[in-house]
Every structure is written in C-alpha cells, then in structure tokens.
Amino acid sequence: MKRFWELPGVADGQKIRTGRILFSILYALIISCFLGALVAFVAQETDSAFGLLLAGVFYSGLVWVTRRGWVRLSTFAVLTSLLVFLTYLLFIGQGIHDLLMVVYPVILIIASLLFGPQGFIWIVAVTIISIGVVVWGDLNGLTQATYPQLTNIEDFFFLSMILLFTGAIVWLLADDLNRNLDRALKNEKALEETNRQLEEQTRTLTASEARWRSLVENAPDLIIDVDRDGKILFLNNAYQVKLTVGDSVFDLVPDDQKQVAQAALQSVFRTGEPVRLEFQNQAGEGGSTQWFATRLGPIKQDDRVTSVMIVATNTTVQKIAQENMRQLNLELEARVASRTTALESKARELEAFAYSVSHDLKGPLRGIDGYSLLLLEDYADKLDAEGAHYLASIRKATAQMNQLIDDLLMYSRLERRAFDISPVNLQTVVGKVLDEYGREIALRQVNLLVNVPEERVQADVEGLTQAVRNLVDNALKFTRAVANPQIEIGAQRKDKVCVLWVKDNGIGFDMRYHDRIFDIFQRLHRAEEYPGTGIGLALVRKVMQNCGGRVWAESAPGNGAQFFLELPV
Amino acid sequence: MTDSIRPILLVEDNPFDLDLAQRAFLKTKIPNPIQVARDGEEALSFLARWEGGETLPAFILLDLKLPKVDGLEVLRRVKSHDRYRIIPVVILTTSTEEQDIQSAYQLGANSYIVKPVDYHRFMEVADQLEAYWCRLNQLLGQ
C-alpha cells in the first residue's frame, strides 16, 4: 500500500509531502469519477457518463505524471480541472451559485498547501484560465448557462474581492507555515546530525569500553572496584580469587590487617586521595608468605568518590630478591669489615715493625759510631794514617746507613699517615724550606731566584713541605760541582691547577732515565759523587699522588734540571 | 752529701748505649756519680732505696723501651710520687713517634731527647744535660 503514496527516486522532502497530498486528491477524484460514470451510465445519462469516464482517465494519467516526479505539472493540472469545473458550475449551476462562491477559498487553500507561498499567483492565473475556458465553451454553445453570458458584473466583482482577500490571508498563512516548515526541516536536519554524532559517540564508547575491559580482564594484577562498604562491584580474574561481585573485599585480607585495610578504604572515600598499602598472607606455595603491593584509587563523579578501584600486585618475587640482596649486602659488609680489620692489624704490625727497625737497627749503629769515634780520639797515637782512614770510613758508612733508615722511616710514615688535604699557601711552604737551607745557600753563594706568588693549592702541608724540601735539597746537591750555582723557584696558576718548579744549573740527567728517577732506591750517580739514599724523589712522587697532583722533570746532562710539581687549586 | 755530688740515674738496657753514655759523661768530667738501672723494674727499685734514705739523683735519664716495666710506666710512677716528682726526668730514646713524645710530656717528663747516632752529637747532648740539670739547677738551688 505504501508505494501508492511514494515518489520513486525523489529525495526532496517537500516534494514527497506535496506528492502524498496530490496522490490522495487524485485517488479520490479517480474513484469519484469512475463511480459517477457508473451511476450516470445506469441513469442513462450517456453524455455525463462519458465526460466522467474521460475525467477518470485524465486523473489516472496525472497519477502517472506525478509518479514520474513532475509534481508541479500534475498539481497544476488538477487545480485547473477543479477550477474549470467550479467556474462551470458557477455559471451554469442552478441554486448553488452562492454556495459555490465559498468553494474558491477552499481550493485556494489547497493550492497554497500544495505550492507554497507562490500558490496564490498560480491560483489567480489558473482561475483566469478556468474562467476563460468556461466562457469560451459557453460562447461556442457547449454549455447552457442559466445566467446571461458574462453579464453578472456583481459576481465578478465579488469573485475578485474574495480572490484578493483570501489570497492575501493564504499568502500570509502559507508564508508562516512554510517558514515553520523550513524551521522544522532544519531542526530535523540538526536532529539527524545530532543522532548521527550520538551514534558515532556510542560506537567510539563501545570500542573504548571493550578495550578497557580487555585490558582490565587480561591485567596480571588483581583489579577490584568496591563501594564504601568494601562490597565488590567488579573484579577481574587475576590470581584465581574465589570472590565474586557482591562479596566483601575484606574477605581477601588476613584478620590482623583488616583494620588497616578498612581505614585505608574510608580514607580514600573521605579525602579522594589515593592510598598505597602492603599486605602479606600465608597463601603462597606450602603456606609461604606472599606480599601484595596495593593501590586504592578513587573513581569520582562530580567531585564525589563513587567507588574505589583497588589494584593489587603480587610482589613476592621482588620482596624475596630484595631480601636476598639485603642479606648479600650484609654479608659483604661483614666481609669488608673483617678484611678491614685484618688490614688494619697488618698496618699496625707494619708500624710496629718500622718502629722496631728504627729502635733496633739504630742501636748497633750507635755502638759502631760511638766506639769508632772513641777509638779515633783515645787511641789516635797508636793508629797510623791507614788505620785512621779505616775508622773514618766506618763512621761515614754508619752515617749513611743512619740516613737510609731515617729516609725509609719517613717514606713508610708517609705511606700509612692519613693525608690531610686542605688549602696550602705555596709561598709559605717555599719560604719555610728556604729558611732551613738559608745557611748553606749563603755559604755556597748560590744565586737564588724566587718568584712564588701567594697561590693556594689543595695539598697535605707536611707532605708538600717535605717534597719541596727534597727538590731544593737535590738542586743544592747537584749544583755542588758548578762554578756559579743558580737555583730558580717559581710557581704559576694554570686554570684549575698550579705548577711549582725548582730549576737548577747543575749536572742534570739524561731524559732516558726520567721515569726511573722517581722509583724508590733508583740513583743515577755514584754515592761518593753525590750522596743520597734514592728515596727523595720517590717520596716526592708519593706525596704528589696522595695530593691528586703529579711530578715530572726536564733535563739534559750538563744543562741543569727543572722539576715541576702540579697540584689542584 | 751535698747537692754537687748528687748522682745521675741512667735507665738504659742497651749495653753499648749504656757504656757510651757513661763514657760521654766521663769525658765531660762531671763529678756526679752515675747510677745505672738496666730495666724498668730495677729503675722502680730506686724508689725504695730513696725511701731508705739514699740521695735523690740530680736527674734521671730514662729510655722508653725497657724490659719488664717500660719507661713511660717508670716515668708515671716517679711523677705521681709526692716527693720524687721534683726529680727532673729526661727521656732519651730512639722513638720519634709523636705519640711517645706527647705521652712523655703529659706524664711530666722535663725533656725529650732523641738518641743521635752520631757519637759526637751525643757527647754534646751529655755536656748540655750535665750543664743544665746539674750546674744550672744547683745555682738555682743556692
């Protein structure tokens, strides 16, 4: 049935609506015409029956035209036919003249409904045409008018007034109607758009929901949504928990920790702030302890906590690893402590040994020196020159050994002494050392050039003083054979370090031996030429290492030597 | 007995050092007799001897490394005694350890001398000791 009112292939809503009205009118007219024709045929009014049959066919044709989509053309044709018929009745109708006058506005309204605001213009044109058609028919004797042809001026005047008046009202009404219709259409469109968007949103939401659900259900952690009383609203399948929706989440918590758990849940509901808790139970394999790191996060709606999402992670593995690590650390610390104790006792032994060396080695040495001197002094008359020489040599050797023991002791003390690194004024250190050697420098008429600014370096003051002392001592020693001995001491700041140098014009050394001279007991000269123990420069290097600095030298045989000490400032 | 011939008490275990010290004092030609204690215990026995009326020494030369009772203990006992604490005690030792020096002074040592290996220098020391602790104090005593 529905398809009788449809316009195939037409999308315009307005046209479809007009079409529906038009179809209704056309079907009514067709049925009326054919029924009228049947009645007239039975009453043997052959002319009328024939005319009605024609009209029925005409309207059937219009149905076809309408279905083609030519709605306006079809409407126009229907209206024209109706008006022609009406005007015809107006002119020839007997006794229904005044009544017919009223039908015009009705048709006008129908036309306006069908055509919209333009309907008025259409209908005027159609009316004129219909009147023309009727007049033409009357003049040609096709009709037998009761009234004289075209004489009723009054009728025309009224007709015109009615047309104008009704037309104006209809115009206004139709305009308003159409505007409302437009608005309704627009609203409909907007509604459709909103619907479309809603559908889209629903689709997106569904997809999102599916994603989250999958995420939660496949999460390795236990996720539970609970209400204020701890009743489970939702939970996933992690850890094979035996509870279901509606159970109390506190059934999962061991008795001794229930109170803490309840307080935490209430706190989240009250403050809206997340809480972290740690639980442990004995539900592990063979009743072993399991740890759970638990986070309670609020789910809010309009700033009100509606439920709390609990996420619990089994941290047993980490816990055990941590505990193992702690144990290992403890063991390690214990081992370090015991090693340190062992080392400390070793160091004490060494100290005792060094002390013993100083005490015990020097004892016999004092004896040798003392008795050889007594022999030399008290028995001088009984000794010949050679004997005296022997004794003098013994005493020289004794002195040398004494020096060696002293240097060794100093070196070993440097090894075990705690270095006190603090800001040291280079000028003060150099001044102090030069004071010690003042007599020798003056006696030997050494040309001394000192240019050390007040630079502060980071060093152990005692160690550094000893290092500078050794360098000055070396400079004095190796210039002994030079005619006009010169020693230059200077210092210069270079970015983050300060370099102090001691330069002499002594015998110098071959740079091939540069590294060896800083090794302990390494000597480049024979003892009778330049006495020494081979410890001095080793000690200098030790001090510089301990202070975070370095020592190096530049020299050439016969061209003097320059020693550099570099220290952090 | 007068002050001038008060003895000098030498506490020394090393026979060479003892002999050399005695000879050094001999060479300075001091009149004071020299008493010898060979270990800490023997040194402490002098406390009883002084108790028994023996003349107090002009000064004590005390080594720190001693058998039986060590030098610091001898020093402590002498310096904590009511009457004998006035006896000057000069520490004569090989130790250059800061700790030994400090302990000695804290216990009331009057001087601390490191034994020189060079016998010449030792003789100088002996001379100075005699000059200071015997002659100077004697002057002050008068």
CATH says A418-568 is which class?
alpha beta
Rounded to a whole number of angstroms, the distance from the CA of A412 to the nearest CA of chain B is 13
Of the listed ranges A145-149, A261-265, A359-363, the least confidently predicted one is A145-149
Between CA A204 and CA A214, with CA A209 as vertex, the angle to 5 degrees is: 130
Mutate to test the interface with A, among B22, B119, B120, B123 (most CBs of A within 10 A): B119
Nearest C-alpha in A relative to B14: A363
8 Å CB contact of A369 and B17: no
Sign of the torsion angle spanned by Cα atoms A68, A73, A76, A80: negative
Pairwise pLDDT comparison (A351 vs B72), residue with the higher score: B72
Q: Does A410 touch chain B (CB under 8 A)?
A: no
Mark out the alpha helices in A43-70 (DSSP H runs).
46-67
Q: Could you tell me the residue ranges of all domains in chain A?
A: 2-193, 222-314, 317-416, 418-568
Mutate to test the interface with B, among A366, A410, A416 (most CBs of B within 10 A): A366
Give B116's contacts in chain A (Cβ within 8 Å).
366
pLDDT tens by residue, B58-81:
889 999 888 888 899 999 999 999
Give A358's contacts in chain B (Cβ within 8 Å).
94-96
**CA dist list (Å): B20 to A53, A132, A402:** 171, 172, 18
What's the pTM?
0.46
The pLDDT score that the predictor gives to residue B142 is 46
Q: Are strands A497-504 and A561-568 parallel, antiparallel or unpaired?
A: antiparallel
Amino acid sitting at position A10:
V
Query: What is the percent of chain A where pLDDT is above 90?
Result: 27
pLDDT tens by residue, A292-311:
999 999 999 888 999 999 99
Residue A48: count other Cβ atoms within 10 Å of its Cβ.
15
Amino acid sitting at position A45:
E
| Residues B58/B27, Cβ–Cβ less than 8 Å | no
Nearest C-alpha in A relative to B116: A366
- The answer on pLDDT for A439 being more than 70 is yes
Is the ipTM higher than 0.95? The answer is no
Of the listed ranges A114-118, A533-537, B40-44, the least confidently predicted one is A114-118
The verdict on domain A222-314 having CATH code 3.90.1480.20 is no
Q: Does A370 touch chain B (CB under 8 A)?
A: yes
Give B94's contacts in chain A (Cβ within 8 Å).
358-359, 362-363
Q: Summarize the confidence of residues B95-118 as an average pLDDT.
A: 87
C-alpha A230/C-alpha A265 separation (Å) is 8
Q: Summarize the confidence of residues A385-395 as an average pLDDT.
A: 89
Amino acid sitting at position A157:
F
Q: Does A354 touch chain B (CB under 8 A)?
A: no
Rounded to a whole number of angstroms, the distance from the CA of A359 to the nearest CA of chain B is 5
Which DSSP string corresponds to A77-140?
Answer: HHHHHHHHHHHHHHHH-SS-HHHHHHHHHHHHHHHHHHHGGGHHHHHHHHHHHHHHHHHHHHHT
